[in-house]
Amino acid sequence: MSSYSIEGGFPLKGKITASGNKNAALPCIAAVLLTDETVILKNLPEIEDVHVMFQVLKELGVEVKKCGHGAYKFKVQDLKTSEIPTKHAKSIRASILFAGPLLARTGKVILPPPGGDVIGRRRLDSHFLAFSALGAQIEIDGLFRINANKLVGADIFLDEASVTATENAIMAAVIASGHTVIMNAASEPHVQDLCNMLNAMGAKITGIGSNILYIDGVKKLGGAEFSIGPDFMEVGSYIGLTAVTRGELEIENAGPKNLRMTKIAFAKLGIHWDTDDSTIFIPSGQELKVSPEIGGMVPKIDDAPWPGFPADLTSIMTVVATQVEGTVLIHEKLFESRMFFVDKLIGMGARIILCDPHRAVVSGPARLRCAELVSPDVRAGMAMVIAALCAEGKSTIQNVYQIERGYEDLSGKLRSLGARITRNK
């Protein structure tokens, strides 16, 4: 099992370019199944989850060719099967995203329960609700067996604004017969990327960026060339680690328009940055101090569906708050196990009270000590990296596979900024 050795206490300084959005890359990769023509995707992050998606495509009968860093060409040769291999389904939750396009193309799909991060219950009901509305039948016998003689457009109201359920519903509907309306749809930048890619392939989707999508089914989709947008989760993570190490950083292709709520949340901790077109600059010498709410109340950083604060950054904000003067409440509403990693931070010297599975009160600043850590998931793992970078001494983080599922060349990027980090095989 690979690990990181990190010696903390050194400011990180320099310049990096944001990677492509992992959460946009995964549905866009699955969507290549919707056409027999060539699709070229650019700015794909070179991460483990993306490479696993490639393996699934190859086993389904899709040719995948690399044509540059982060650029790949896809062409369906012969759809050999509608069953997702169990070994791949168990390794990433994004395996569920093959259900929509396979159902649309072949009328059936067999899917083992998807794996991924262990951050609490992650229900699939919304996916099946959408497929049923479009005319599919679902059987569950240890596997998910979904069949449809014909998909017909429908008025769909999702019971939660699930990102992956919205994406599956979109991919199933674009070549269904008739008109589809998806209400309570997720509207994150990655959902927008998928919609824009499909429109480039000939789909007819309107309402992009809102919670109501309108889709007129077409008989056939064609090829396209599409570039994935920047990963605002990665950008938010690098903003946090720059601030707590007292460094300064320029991030190119950062997508500032997707950081508006993130900027508000960081400002509550006294962290600010400057923006120039697509670049942001985090200066050194910032006063890391909690800004009380009106009346002197303890401020809260809580997640919400887009355009609210992203759930995937709550772990990052928790560790950042340990280095800020004052008290803040972190409220993670969506996943009941995501906050359990804070016991590791407490062991490093952080002053945190875990109120319940969703809420933690953080008081800082705290001098963190080095520790032996194990990454439980992508975002908590990155939070541990940030903690190790500002801790005294040398920390070891095991199971970094979990972190590298979501962060491209993390150790290389950090070393380029002056971090003392070694990746151990």
Catalytic residues: 117
- Give the 3-state DSSP-derived string for the chain, with helices as H, strands as E and coil as C: CCEEEEECCCCCEEEEECCECHHHHHHHHHHHHHCCCCEEEECCCCCHHHHHHHHHHHHHCEEEEECCCCCEEEEECCCCCCECCHHHHHHCHHHHHHHHHHHHHHCEEEECCCCCCCCCCCCCHHHHHHHHHCCCEEEECCCEEEECCCCECCEEECCCCCHHHHHHHHHHHCCCECEEEEECCCCCHHHHHHHHHHHHCCCEEECCCCCEEEEECCCCCCCEEEECCECHHHHHHHHHHHHHCCCEEEEECCCHHHHHHHHHHHHCCCCCCEEECCEEEECCCCCCECCCECCCECCEEEECCCCCECHHHHHHHHHHHCCCEEEEEEECCCCCCHHHHHHHHHHCCCEEEEEECCEEEEEECCCCECCEEECCCHHHHHHHHHHHHHCECEEEEECCHHHHCCCCCHHHHHHHCCCEEEEEC
